[in-house]
């Protein structure tokens, strides 16, 4: 059985690739809260375990075994987050760390029972797709709201789940998965983004907007 730290690295590599395409040691160090030398040491370990293909100063890639492990851990994590919200009354801003602790220790039977109890859900509370038991995962948006330049009707698909304070801020603004809104403009001199959410004008910094992923509002486009 592999250690939780190995599983954490594999999951971080998968998520870094999915979010930004950047799997550099500095990116992994920031995500995991460790030093770059610690990342380099673990990269050698993961390569020995044949979970990644990696040479110094080159791109890190998960092997087939690494990809399977990442999707299994992510499935545990996202099912646990949803279970904590729906069955135990946790709020979406305080489930990430609980799921981080539990994801390494649940059995496949426990995972299946949660999945059945929740009605075989397809997304976690933060909008991230839940991989199937077979390892299939739905497409997810990689288009950050911070990239938006011109007025457009958009819908929130998912948000990063690591920062509890930021999640509470998104909730207060109404920026939760499934919310349709209008991007109006960016204020001058790199000011905040101006949005219209539920008929109300709200402002959000570009830094915070990097953690919100969006798609065009296809329902609105179909109407027009």
Residue spans per domain, the chain: 4-62, 145-223
Note the pLDDT of residue 35.
93
Tokens, residue 3? 């250690």
Note the pLDDT of residue 97.
92
The CATH H-level superfamily of 145-223 is: Ferrous iron transport protein A (FeoA) (2.30.30.90)
Does the domain made of 4-62 have the CATH classification 1.20.140.90?
A: no
Note the pLDDT of residue 10.
95
Residue 216: enclosing H or E segment and its boundaries?
strand 212-216
Q: Mean pLDDT for each 10-residue chunk of the chain (224 residues)?
A: 89 86 81 90 93 78 94 97 96 95 93 96 97 93 93 96 94 96 93 95 96 87 52
Whole-angstrom CA distances from 220 to 148, 155, 173 are: 18, 10, 21
Note the pLDDT of residue 111.
95
Sheet holding 193-197, edge to edge: 200-204, 193-197, 180-186, 152-159, 212-216
């Amino acid at each position: 059985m592999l250690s939780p730290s190995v599983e954490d690295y594999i999951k971080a590599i998968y998520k870094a690739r999915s979010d930004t395409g950047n799997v550099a040691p500095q990116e992994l160090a920031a995500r995991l809260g460790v030093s770059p030398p610690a990342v380099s040491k673990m990269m050698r370990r993961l390569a020995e375990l044949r979970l990644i293909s990696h040479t110094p100063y080159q791109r890190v890639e998960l092997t087939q075994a690494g990809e399977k492990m990442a999707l299994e851990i992510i499935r545990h994590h996202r099912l646990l987050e949803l279970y904590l919200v729906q069955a135990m009354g946790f709020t979406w801003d305080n489930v990430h760390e609980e799921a981080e602790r539990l994801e390494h220790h649940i059995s496949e039977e426990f995972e299946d029972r949660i999945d059945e109890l929740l009605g075989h859900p397809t997304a976690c509370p933060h909008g991230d797709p839940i991989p199937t038991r077979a390892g299939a995962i739905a497409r997810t948006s990689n288009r950050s709201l911070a990239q938006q330049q011109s007025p457009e009707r958009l819908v929130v698909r998912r948000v990063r789940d690591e920062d509890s304070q930021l999640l509470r801020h998104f909730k207060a603004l109404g920026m939760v998965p499934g919310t349709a809104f209008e991007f109006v403009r960016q204020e001058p001199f790199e000011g905040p983004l101006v949005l219209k959410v539920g008929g109300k004008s709200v402002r959000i910094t570009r830094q915070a907007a990097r953690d919100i992923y969006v798609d065009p509002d296809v329902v609105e486009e179909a109407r027009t």
